[in-house]
């Protein structure tokens, strides 16, 4: 098997796995911070119980997120050494700032928060979880600053002697317009993720008729976060699409499944049968005017034209044999899965909140089950969103500047890569499974579970009334 | 070589020193879970000594990696791709160790807990051992080519007598450092046992240091290239080790702990001093990667320097504050 395939497979696998936990951590930290704030403001014990209970779930996810993050940092050098040489001058700075500014903050204050419930006064303890939450959000900002450069290079020059990209303005790197559509999209998506994990888990407990007040209140917070988050995510996603159409027309055309230039005004394809061999869309169901209405342009160029433009622009640099067509079906359907589940979540949140406030939701079993299934929806959305973003960057690691084929480590053997792929796969399977089991178990036990062994130690009879 | 390049070479060394000083005792504590503690309560006690702080200690490594990527992308690229499998298993160790804390505390029964205690133990052994190997391999020199990549390295370039001694040495110092930390942070049986084990280990450490010095003399060019400074640093390492042993036999735990930490700092300084002005030593010396041609541009180095000067003091302040909050000894009956 060839090195490029294995390295790409590994990058995809590790990134997707890591990105299950990142949005969950960001979202859950924010939700827990909100809950603890309500406790400090309202002084109601139930909010403290909520912060502790959901905080525990957050910590389980965070543990896996952190360790898989180290893989991400190391694999640039391990699998993509030539990319690291090309990009180091630019990629390294945000990565180092991420560590100094965000990781130290998260990791220090998470320790203080976790072990400090009885140690610090309420306001100081609240500050800790907010610092953790801000830390997770800042971390995303810096890593996306690097990613945005890969999508839309700015503030750089190419050193003719070394052939490397060099940073010309740190402020310019942060002003990248791609960053300011990508970051809100990811951040709000993370808030939806936290919200739906909480709402879905609460629904599951409501089905079991356990601790109703606690889980109704939790679901309420989860759904509010889900609703506000998903509306903002859709808004930011809309802005991002406009930017993509402008910066990466091939990606945009592939996401919409358009081979030939659209009519003016442009229709929007709901579904389409795409033939990637013949390079045509066999049939589609579309809504007239909608794409123009959404994107604001009269007409959009199709992949054929985008391909021609890319060849005109880059043949001198990369040769005429480069394939600029993307995995169209993956992008087309990936985008629809992402946006579809995103919209579904927004609707679910509206319906759920309405019924919750009418005090009817506990009787609608099928809806509660939908929310339980809904725990997976943000993860589906996040994963497809990321796949569309990164696959749409082909054939480049840095758009228009450096190809994937040139990025891999020349000194690393296929055997080494195969070993690491297998090791990661096994490791991720175990970690994913254990994490799922532990989260499920924690939710099952509920917020007022007292470990009998712990209780005995403190001289409490675990079966006495009032303990549970 | 510009001043900024030199500064960042030193800073990378400082970050690795910080990592070994802080995460070193975390590893030792991880080993102690199986080697010192004898029952659940003692294991809880041992783990609780690092519970609130191990994550921020690990960030020193993440920062060192990120800073290396930023300040010396060529070094980062050559080193990380050149030590592929070693780094893979370092990652495996860090991962199973990193999740073990939370997974252990979420475990329902003794069997599950035992699984994650073993993960913590194994991770705590693997990581320092492989780092020791990697740094020794690094200073012995690897086959590199004109494109700055490690090419066609053989098994013995990675695994050989000197690198195994290096691995054992770092693991041993980590364990001692952890024992000294436990002496500082616990009460009762764990503390007494840590002291007893440490006393037995010092002779091994001194024998190991002699072997390490001889092999360093034979297998590296440290003593031909930079005789005086190499010798001074070697002597310093021995002095710190002796101080640490003195603190152990005289029951001065603070001194022991600081001194084992300084042994790590000494080892990193010894290796970085020998590397200078190179960052990767090639067997064919014309291909060695130099500080001068491995770094990022002056502009990026300047940005990074400003960022570090602004942020690092703040980080150090709150990290120190966090340590202070958990400064009390961990009792057995908590």
| Partners of residue B277 on adjacent β-strands | none
Measured between beta carbons, which residues in chain B are less than 8 angstroms from residue A112? Answer: 52, 322, 325
Q: Work out the pLDDT band at A464, boundaries 50, 70, 90.
A: very low
Q: What is the spatial distance between Cα A398 and Cα A404, in angstroms, rounded to a whole number?
A: 8
Instruction: Report the pLDDT averaged over residues A314-329.
Output: 94
Question: What is the Cα A424 distance to its own chain's centre?
Answer: 20
Does any CB of chain B come closer than 8 Å to the CB of residue A438? yes
The string of DSSP codes covering B173-225 is: HHHHHHHHHHHHHB-THHHHHHHHHHHHHHHHHHHHHHHHHHHHHHHSSHHHH
Q: What is the pLDDT of residue A461?
A: 46
Closest-CA distance of chain A to residue B228, Å: 34
Q: What is the spatial distance between Cα A13 and Cα A8, in angstroms, rounded to a whole number?
A: 8
Domains in chain B, number: 1
Read off φ and ψ for residue A157, nearest 5 degrees. -140, 155
Q: What is the pLDDT of residue B332?
A: 82
**Are A405 and A86 a contacting pair, CB within 8 Å?**
no
The two tokens of residue A241 are 């699409």
**Are A440 and A201 a contacting pair, CB within 8 Å?**
no
**Are A13 and A70 a contacting pair, CB within 8 Å?**
no
- Residue range A96-115, pLDDT digits in tens: 899 999 999 999 999 999 99
Q: In terms of residue numbers, what domain contains B167?
A: 3-326
Q: What is the spatial distance between Cα A307 and Cα A295, in angstroms, rounded to a whole number?
A: 21
The answer to whether B326 contacts A88, with C-beta atoms less than 8 Å apart, is no
C-alpha dist (Å) from residue B27 to B112, B129, B205, B266: 21, 10, 17, 18
Low-confidence ranges of chain B (pLDDT < 50): 334
Q: Which of B79, B108, B304 sits opposite A96 (nearest CB)?
A: B304
Q: What is the spatial distance between Cα B98 and Cα B120, in angstroms, rounded to a whole number?
A: 8
| Partners of residue A403 on adjacent β-strands | A396
Q: What is the spatial distance between Cα A467 and Cα A458, in angstroms, rounded to a whole number?
A: 12
The two tokens of residue A5 are 């395939």
Question: Quick check: is B331 in a domain?
Answer: no
- Residue range B130-143, pLDDT digits in tens: 999 999 999 999 99
Read off φ and ψ for residue A16, nearest 5 degrees. -65, -45
Residue A294, pLDDT > 90, answer no
pTM of the model: 0.94
The answer to whether B73 contacts A84, with C-beta atoms less than 8 Å apart, is yes
Q: What is the pLDDT of residue A296?
A: 84
Give the H/E segment covering residue B273.
Answer: helix B253-275
**Are B201 and B36 a contacting pair, CB within 8 Å?**
no
The answer to whether A420 contacts B299, with C-beta atoms less than 8 Å apart, is no
A289: nearest Cα among A270, A271, A264: A264
Between β-strands A164-167 and A402-403, what pairing exists: parallel, antiparallel or unpaired? unpaired
- Residue range A220-255, pLDDT digits in tens: 999 999 999 999 999 999 999 999 999 999 999 999
Question: Quick check: is B176 in a domain?
Answer: yes
Does any CB of chain B come closer than 8 Å to the CB of residue A411? yes
Question: Quick check: is B332 in a domain?
Answer: no
């Amino acid at each position: 098997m060839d090195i490029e395939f294995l390295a790409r497979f590994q990058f995809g696998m590790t990134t997707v796995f890591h990105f299950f936990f990142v949005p969950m951590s960001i979202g859950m930290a924010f939700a827990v911070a909100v809950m603890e704030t309500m406790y400090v403001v309202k002084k109601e014990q139930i909010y403290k119980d909520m912060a502790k209970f959901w905080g525990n779930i957050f910590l389980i996810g965070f543990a896996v997120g952190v360790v898989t993050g180290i893989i991400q940092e190391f694999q640039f050098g391990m699998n993509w050494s030539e990319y690291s040489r090309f990009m180091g001058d630019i990629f390294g700075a945000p990565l180092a700032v991420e560590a100094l500014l965000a990781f130290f903050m998260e990791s220090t204050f998470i320790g203080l928060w976790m072990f400090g419930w009885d140690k610090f006064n309420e306001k100081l303890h609240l500050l800790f979880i907010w610092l953790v939450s801000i830390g997770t959000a800042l971390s995303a900002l810096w890593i996306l600053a690097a990613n945005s450069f890969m999508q839309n290079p700015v503030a750089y020059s190419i050193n003719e002697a070394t052939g490397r990209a060099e940073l010309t303005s740190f402020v310019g790197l942060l002003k990248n317009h791609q960053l300011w559509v990508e970051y809100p999209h990811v951040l709000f998506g993370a808030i939806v993720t936290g919200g739906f994990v909480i709402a879905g888990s609460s629904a599951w407990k409501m089905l079991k008729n356990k601790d109703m007040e606690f889980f109704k209140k939790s679901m309420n917070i989860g759904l509010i976060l889900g609703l506000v988050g998903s509306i903002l995510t859709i808004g930011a996603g809309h802005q991002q699409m406009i930017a993509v159409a402008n910066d990466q027309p091939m990606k945009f055309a592939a996401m919409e499944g358009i081979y030939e230039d659209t009519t003016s005004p442009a229709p929007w394809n709901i579904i389409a049968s795409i033939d990637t061999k013949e390079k045509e869309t066999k049939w589609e169901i579309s809504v007239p005017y909608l794409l123009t209405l959404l994107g604001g342009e009269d007409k959009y160029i199709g992949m054929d034209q985008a391909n021609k433009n890319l060849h005109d622009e880059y043949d001198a640099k990369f040769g005429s044999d480069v394939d600029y067509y993307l995995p169209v079906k993956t992008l087309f359907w990936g985008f629809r899965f992402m946006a579809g589940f995103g919209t579904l979540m927004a609707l679910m949140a509206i319906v759920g909140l309405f019924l919750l406030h009418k005090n009817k939701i506990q009787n609608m079993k099928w809806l509660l089950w939908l929310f339980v299934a809904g725990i997976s929806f943000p993860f589906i959305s996040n994963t497809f969103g990321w796949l569309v973003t990164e696959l749409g960057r082909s054939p480049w690691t840095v758009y228009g500047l450096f190809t994937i084929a040139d990025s891999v480590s020349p000194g690393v053997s296929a055997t080494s890569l195969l070993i690491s792929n297998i090791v990661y796969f096994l490791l991720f399977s175990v970690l994913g499974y254990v994490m799922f089991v532990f989260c499920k178990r924690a939710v099952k036990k509920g917020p007022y579970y007292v470990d009998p062994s712990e209780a005995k130690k403190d001289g409490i009879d675990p079966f006495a009334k009032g303990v549970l | 070589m510009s001043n900024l390049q030199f500064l960042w070479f030193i800073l990378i060394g400082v970050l690795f020193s910080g990592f070994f000083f802080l995460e070193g005792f975390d590893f030792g504590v991880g080993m102690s879970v199986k080697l010192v503690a004898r029952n659940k309560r003692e294991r809880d006690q041992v783990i609780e000594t690092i519970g609130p702080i191990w994550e921020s200690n690990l960030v020193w490594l993440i920062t060192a990696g990120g800073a290396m990527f930023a300040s010396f992308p060529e070094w980062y690229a050559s080193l990380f791709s050149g030590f592929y499998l070693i780094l893979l298993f370092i990652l495996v160790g860090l991962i199973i160790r990193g999740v073990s804390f939370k997974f252990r505390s979420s475990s329902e029964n003794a069997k599950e807990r035992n699984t994650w205690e073993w993960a913590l133990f194994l991770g705590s052994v693997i990581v320092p051992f492989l780092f020791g190997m990697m740094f020794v391999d690094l200073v012995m020199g690897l086959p590199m080519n004109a494109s700055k990549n490690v090419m066609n390295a053989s098994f013995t370039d990675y695994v050989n007598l000197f690198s195994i001694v290096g691995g054992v040495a770092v693991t041993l110092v980590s364990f001692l450092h952890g024992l000294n930390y436990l002496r500082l942070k616990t009460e009762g049986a764990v503390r007494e046992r840590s002291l007893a084990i440490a006393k037995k280990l010092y002779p091994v450490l001194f024998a190991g240091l002699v072997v390490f010095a001889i092999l360093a003399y034979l297998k590296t060019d440290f003593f031909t290239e930079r005789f005086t400074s190499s010798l001074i640093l070697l002597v310093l390492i021995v002095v710190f080790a002796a101080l640490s042993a003195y603190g152990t036999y005289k029951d001065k735990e603070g001194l022991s702990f600081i001194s084992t930490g300084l042994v790590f700092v000494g080892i990193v300084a010894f290796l970085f001093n020998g590397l200078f002005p190179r960052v990767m030593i090639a067997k064919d010396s014309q291909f060695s990667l130099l500080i001068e041609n491995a770094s990022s541009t002056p502009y990026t180095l300047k940005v990074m320097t400003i960022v570090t000067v602004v942020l690092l003091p703040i980080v150090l302040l709150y990290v120190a504050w966090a340590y202070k909050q958990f400064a009390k000894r961990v009792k057995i009956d908590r």
